[in-house]
Amino acid sequence: MSGNMNLTLKVWRQKSQNAQGAFETYEAKNISPDMSFLEMMDVVNEDLIKAGKEPIAFDHDCREGICGMCSMYINGRAHGPLKGVTTCQLHMRSFSSGETITIEPWRATAFPVLRDLVVDRTAFERIQQAGGYVSVNTGSVPDANAIPISKENADEAFLSAACIGCGACVAACKNSSAMLFVSAKVSQYALLPQGNVERKERVLKMVSQMDQEGFGNCSNTEACEAECPKEIKVTNIARMNREFLRAKLFS
Amino acid sequence: MTLNSKAPSGPLAEKWNNHKFNLKLVNPANKRKYDIIIVGTGLAGASAAASLAELGYNVKTFCVQDSPRRAHSIAAQGGINAAKNYRNDGDSVYRLFYDTLKGGDYRAREANVYRLAQVSVNIIDQCVAQGVPFAREYGGLLDNRSFGGAQVSRTFYAKGQTGQQLLLGAYSAMNRQIATGKIQSYTRHEMLDVVMVDGKARGIIARDLVTGQIERHSAHAVVLCTGGYGNVFYLTTYARGSNVTAIWRAHKKGAYFGNPCFTQIHPTCIPVSGDHQSKLTLMSESLRNDGRIWVPLKKGDNRKPEDIPEAERDYYLERIYPSFGNLVPRDIASRKAKEMCDQGRGVGASGLAVYLDFSDAINRLGESTVASRYGNLFDMYKQITGENPYKTPMRIYPAVHYTMGGLWVDYNLMTTIPGLYACGEANFSDHGANRLGASALMQGLADGYFVLPYTIGDYLAGEERKEVSIDSPEFVAAEKNVKDQLQKLLSINGNKTVHEFQRELGLIMWNHCGMARNENGLKEGIEKIKALRAEFWKNIKVPGVGEELNQNLERAGRVADFLELGELMMQDALQRNESCGGHFREEYQTPEGEALRDDDNYAYVAAWEYKGENQPSEMHKEALEYEFIKRSQRSYK
Ligand SMILES: Cc1cc2nc3c(=O)[nH]c(=O)nc-3n(C[C@H](O)[C@H](O)[C@H](O)COP(=O)(O)OP(=O)(O)OC[C@H]3O[C@@H](n4cnc5c(N)ncnc54)[C@H](O)[C@@H]3O)c2cc1C
Ligand code: SF4
Ligand code: FES
């Protein structure tokens, strides 16, 4: 079909966590601009299998920008060139025929590569387990409308809660800091009355776990906000810093 | 085996309370002596895991993604129903119960549906207490919207990301229990078999998807919350990893499969754009609150939508169903869209689409109000199609979205295997032949937060409080079977990829068992599936080895199961000589083309028993008795 593109891909291949990795070059031929980036990868993988080679492993699931599974570092940018868009929602119309596209996994000490483009993000799990919740048991709660919350706060809490836990903020940061991710969760609860009781403890525990996982420090370059597919704001980081100071001062 | 629904007798509103009172209890100090395995961490699994761990049971959870938070529930957009009547618009538990039964075309159990409506109110309380940021009004109280099949506003929502927020709430409750050690969470693990000891479910065999290791896990009860099986159709709104494997393998071990052919086709999805397509994207049903659906009056009218004058447009839902208009239930909206396209009045390059037009709403409410209600959906549409829905109508077409069928369960959510439970979309309960919008989230959370925690105790109270060994011959044999199957898949080394087989199967399913079905088509479809399945086991090509991260191997196992399930779905559609809800048999329709139910002969749940490889399955019937409401022909006119 006319209008279809031919591309060269440079893809990071690594057999397992402890194996040595390297770039390999592949041709992606006859790619429709209406394909999503992952559909283009599907095409390449089908060709690899047919040629008796190992397909490229990559994470994905919902393919509509909400599960946070997909995680490619495309041409030096987490989730590729578009703002506010995950890899799975990126379409090939954002590239031009003849282009060479470099595809890497997230790179961070706290996110070891498991295979090719698949990384281990369980560090995020452990941070959430450290305090990313309100301690209420099933059944022991008041009527939902017994807790009025201003629309403004509710809406802002929602914006922080929209984080999909993809890890692009870490990948985009030169220090591999997880501040944006952690602060989004801390902010959601800090903005809501439900989160108030455990407010101090939560921020201390989550930050301490973050440090233990080997994420770097925040040096305010704001690359995280620029690359976050859900446009989580760095103001969350400022709020978390305030929460943290307050908790330290009064603990 | 005769099916016993265990639905309690007595007055409708008292059934659940009385039943709870009659259930056996496990003494608090003894709960920690019981182990429970929960497979799947979507809304159903995460809520069940957290609630059971809070009670003191030892819980192990399993999911295939790298985090429980990534289960397919995360993608639910529009909202969750609850009979709160915060709007003062006449809603009640009874009305939600009635709407759900009617919406399901009277193919669900009265007692279950009433319980669902009852506990719906507690769900919203629970989620708010967890910090779920639902949409609110300026006064600080919760906002609602209306959804298809209902004339009241009872749907709670968080923009177009309700599933995400609810799942993150349940996930946070899980995390709290993981931190206390009451839940052990196994991510990137796939369950590949249920292990039965002395006729009871006693554990699972799972594959660590990173190392490829096969593991044995034992427990006193196993709960499957593994979601729906719509991906048998290949192009669907499901996440790519959604599959039938867990419940299918349980089915092969003796769990009956209820109403497998009941599939929901969602009316508002972005149409297919080409062969490369890997999934279809839903545009939430909530859009039908403000969007108007139309096609050109004339066949083959290929003017731009803006150039077609009002008088030459057919707002067919408003015309045919004046009282519900664009808010008719999904099965009806989907079928009518197909009819319009079959008449040659479809739009877009393929002619397989209808318009969903917001220009009236934008004129009436202003662009910013429309953006605040649906902004993220409009953005998503634009990102995928390259078109701006604020300026030109969306093009939509129906796509497979949900499966009402699933493992047969009794009122306690137990399958026909003692000690094996199924919750959420994985079971068949509650939605009958068609599910109303915003009711799946409700059911998943009802099962997990408020039903299973009570009913599972009744079973466990009768079980010995000693650890189940993983060294029994049953575990050894189940593990060997799993390993053998993986080895077989890897060793065939044929010419066709998993992807090719899955697409081919999906096409057969869509053409023969999709929006409209008929006897001949189904019979042909069954033959085609049999042939494809035979070819699969001769010609599949799975690269790599088992002891590594191998995504093709994972998928091959799932497609192998879909190839068996597809045949059962067609068998089920073939035996049901009536049309009801999402199951439309062309032979059974009214002169106006509406579904024609046959309550005298088909008011039953079809529960299928597996009889062995390539043996015909046996159907058992659970009669559906209606004690409290009168069944009528559904009318949304
Ligand atoms: C796009 C979209 C929008 C929707 N919007 C709405 C809405 O607005 N309102 C509404 O009520 N409903 C909606 N639904 C339906 C609803 O989201 C689902 O029915 C519901 O979330 C299913 O939840 P679940 O917990 O049963 O399963 P899922 O969320 O599908 O979870 C399945 C879990 O099982 C795990 N799993 C599966 N197989 C295995 C295995 N073999 N081994 C280990 N783990 C396994 C998965 O990892 C996952 O954790 C929507 C559905 C879609 C597709
Ligand atoms: S803050 Fe943004 S980039 Fe970071 S995990 Fe959340 S969604 Fe991803
Ligand atoms: S695959 Fe789910 S966010 Fe990209």
* A120 CA from centroid of ligand 2 (Å): 15
The verdict on a CB contact (< 8 Å) between B140 and A158 is no
How close is the nearest chain B Cα to the Cα of A246, in Å? 21
B51, B63, B74, B401: residue to mutate for ligand 1 pocket, most atoms within 8 A of CB = B63
Which amino acid residue places its CA nearest to atom 2 of ligand 2? A228
Residue B426, both tokens = 């994985």
Whether residues A225 and A176 fall in one domain: yes
The verdict on a CB contact (< 8 Å) between A137 and B54 is yes
Q: Chain A, 53-112: which have a CB under 8 Å from a chain B CB? A: 53-55, 57, 59-69, 84-85, 89, 91, 93
Given pLDDT bands bounded at 50, 70 and 90, which one contains residue A2? Answer: low
End-to-end CA distance of chain B: 42
pLDDT(A109) > 60: yes
Q: List CB contacts (< 8 A) between B281 and chain A.
A: 64
> Running DSSP on this structure, what letter comes out for residue A137?
-
What positions of B carry a catalytic annotation? 330
Whether residues A134 and A105 fall in one domain: no
How close is the nearest chain A Cα to the Cα of B223, in Å? 18
Residue in A closest to B163 by C-alpha: A66
Quick one: average pLDDT of A103-122? Answer: 98
| Domain C-terminal end among A56, A84, A114 | A114
pLDDT(A1) > 60: no
Whether residues A210 and A181 fall in one domain: yes
Least confident of A155-169, A227-241, B114-128, B319-333: B319-333
Write the CB contacts of B137 (distance below 8 Å, at least 6 apart in sequence): A151, B143
pLDDT(B306) > 80: yes
Q: Chain A, 112-131: which have a CB under 8 Å from a chain B CB? A: 114-115, 118, 120-122, 124-125, 128-130
Number of the ligand 1 atom closest to the C-alpha atom of B189: 43
> Running DSSP on this structure, what letter comes out for residue B572?
H
Question: ipTM strictly over 0.90?
Answer: yes
pLDDT(B224) > 90: yes
Whether residues A213 and A110 fall in one domain: no
Q: How many structural domains are present in chain A? A: 2
How close is the nearest chain A Cα to the Cα of B39, in Å? 18
Whether residues A107 and A139 fall in one domain: no
- Please indicate, yes or no, whether the overall pTM of this predicted structure exceeds 0.90: yes
Whether residues A101 and A50 fall in one domain: yes
Q: Domains of chain B, with CATH numbers?
A: 267-400 (3.90.700.10), 473-594 (1.20.58.100)
**Quick one: pLDDT at residue B286?**
84
| Domain C-terminal end among A49, A83, A114 | A114
Q: Which residues pair with A32 in a beta bridge?
A: none
Q: A57: domain range?
A: 5-114
Residue B16, both tokens = 């659940």
Whether residues A92 and A150 fall in one domain: no
* B328 CA from centroid of ligand 1 (Å): 24
| Domain C-terminal end among A61, A83, A114 | A114
Given pLDDT bands bounded at 50, 70 and 90, which one contains residue A188? Answer: very high
Quick one: average pLDDT of A188-196? Answer: 97
Q: List CB contacts (< 8 A) between B170 and chain A.
A: none
Domain of residue A166, CATH code: 1.10.1060.10
Domain of residue A63, CATH code: 3.10.20.30
Whether residues A105 and A224 fall in one domain: no
Whether residues A157 and A89 fall in one domain: no
Residue A109: count of CB within 10 angstroms of its CB: 12
* 3-state SS, one letter per residue, for B579-634: CECCECECCCECCCCCECCCHHHHCEEEEEECCCCCCCCEEEEEECCCCCCCCCCC
Whether residues A193 and A92 fall in one domain: no
pLDDT(B423) > 90: yes
B190: Cβ below 6 Å to ligand 1?
Answer: yes
Whether residues A52 and A139 fall in one domain: no
What helix, strand, coil percent values describe chain A, rounded to 5? 40, 15, 45
Whether residues A172 and A219 fall in one domain: yes
Of the partner residues A118, A148, A195, the one whose CB lies closest to the CB of residue B140? A148
Q: Are B288 and B244 in contact (CB under 8 A)?
A: no
* B71 CA from centroid of ligand 1 (Å): 6
Q: Per-residue pLDDT tens for B174-208? A: 999 999 999 999 999 999 999 999 999 999 999 99
